[in-house]
Amino acid sequence: MSEILRQHLKKFVALDDGDFSSVLKYFRILHFKKKENLLTEGEVCRSNFFVARGCLRMFFIDEQGIEKTTQFALEHWWLADYFSFQKQQKSHFNIQAVENSEVWALNFHAQEQLLSDFPQMERYFRLVHQTAHAASQVRLRYVYDLSKEELYRYFSNNFPEFIQRVPQYLLASYLNMTPEYLSELRAKITS
Amino acid sequence: MSEILRQHLKKFVALDDGDFSSVLKYFRILHFKKKENLLTEGEVCRSNFFVARGCLRMFFIDEQGIEKTTQFALEHWWLADYFSFQKQQKSHFNIQAVENSEVWALNFHAQEQLLSDFPQMERYFRLVHQTAHAASQVRLRYVYDLSKEELYRYFSNNFPEFIQRVPQYLLASYLNMTPEYLSELRAKITS
């Protein structure tokens, strides 16, 4: 499963095989079962997680006790609560495995050491965060601009694999609608 | 006005005076009048903008012709349409000066050259984007979780200077409410 990380790194920076083997040593390989938490609200987000296989989600629990999913991460994606991670302070989010998942975890101090030993990795993470920042600008636009139905159509047209793969009640939570509303919407669209 | 950039850089990376003078040469200092556009939808976002003085906003125009403001940038903040910037493709956003503003612009190619000549600037931009990414995670949570009234109260409590400084009709647009609704809300809260 290190191949998926190597491919992702190679998209952004030049690392030879020797360097790549050394970079791998900063990571820990972790396996999570479906519905297992990687981070629980109130804990410090100690690691930055790269998804090698499976799917993660980030969510918070609102005052009514309802879980609201704000982000998913499939293969090649990084996920952490970045305020909690960079300040090493308590998180207000949870991160959970949506499927049985293999995750490459980079502990905060290991990441700092990696960046110090391999400064070219600053470029890699700069581009990862710049891309995530860009994606958040687009996402915010859709949240402002699209009705819930339009938002669902946008995701089905642009990310069909994602729509197929994620359980419907989590997709509903991510689209900020009830599972019943999503079910009606799907029936309406396919009829 | 270069002092504000120097202070911001020093928060994240070590640069001596000689390096800082060299870094400055990659920037162009631009002045924009209130309501002047730095970027117009359909153009390529050619520069990454650092606000030395004033205030910028990013907005799009919806199908009804209404301007919707998705981001503001005050002093010390960077702003660009990052998808348009990194791919050098047409933008779907506008960037406009909210006040008369002094902006330090880093052209895409100048930024690439700067990062190649001063690799420590990769760390600076990695931390800028990581912080913006973290802020977008928090913002998304508030969009999901708070009513419009709670969102307004959150901003007034946490960013009082911002609330005072930004014209009310733009603040309404940013909070995704009509100016009339914001005005009623303010009256209700202060009464």
- Does a structural domain hold residue A183? no
Measure the CA–CA gap between B185 and B180, rounded to whole angstroms.
Answer: 9
pLDDT tens digits in sequence order for chain B, 191 residues long: 688 899 999 999 988 889 999 999 999 999 999 999 999 999 999 999 999 999 999 999 998 999 999 999 999 999 999 999 999 999 999 999 999 999 999 999 999 999 999 999 999 999 999 999 999 999 989 888 888 888 888 888 888 888 889 999 999 989 888 899 999 988 888 77
**Ramachandran assignment for B185, one of left (phi > 0), alpha (psi -120 to 50 degrees), beta (any other):** alpha
Q: Is B7 part of a structural domain of the chain? A: yes
Tell me, yes or no, whether A141 lies in a domain.
Answer: no
- Round the CA-based radius of gyration of chain B to a whole number and report it: 18
Partner-chain contact B60 A122, CB within 8 Å: no
Q: What is the pLDDT along chain A (191 residues), one digit of tens a residue?
A: 688 899 999 999 988 889 999 999 999 999 999 999 999 999 999 999 999 999 999 999 998 999 999 999 999 999 999 999 999 999 999 999 999 999 999 999 999 999 999 999 999 999 999 999 999 999 989 888 888 888 888 888 888 888 889 999 999 989 888 899 999 988 888 77
Identify the CA nearest to A174 among candidates A30, A33, A73, A46.
A73
* Among A14, A6, A5, CA closest to A49: A5
Tell me whether residues B144 and A68 touch, CB distance under 8 A: yes
Give chain A's domain count: 1
| Interface predicted TM-score of the whole assembly (ipTM), two decimals | 0.93
Q: The domain containing residue A99 runs over which residues? A: 2-116
First to last CA, chain B: 41
Tell me the CA distances in angstroms from B34 to A5, A39, B98, B106, one per residue in order. 46, 45, 5, 21
Tell me if residue B55 falls in helix, strand or coil: coil
> What CATH number corresponds to the domain at position A28?
2.60.120.10
Extract the tokens encoding A19: 């360097």
Whether residue A161 lies inside any domain: the answer is no
Q: Flag whether B16 is in a domain.
A: yes
B133 to A137: CB separation less than 8 angstroms, yes or no: no
**Chain A contacts of B139, Cβ < 8 Å?**
140
Cα dihedral B181/B187/B190/B191 (nearest 10): -130
Q: Is B139 within a domain?
A: no
Do the Cβ atoms of A133 and B134 come within 8 Å?
Answer: no
- The number of C-beta contacts closer than 8 angstroms across A and B is 116
Q: How far is A90 from chain B (nearest CA, A)?
A: 14
- A166 assigned to some structural domain: no
pLDDT in tens, A34-44: 999 999 999 99
Residue B102: partners with Cβ closer than 8 Å, 6 or more residues away: B1, B29, B30, B31, B51, B52, B53, B54
Domain annotation covers residue B141? no
Q: Which residue of B has its CA nearest to A62?
A: B145
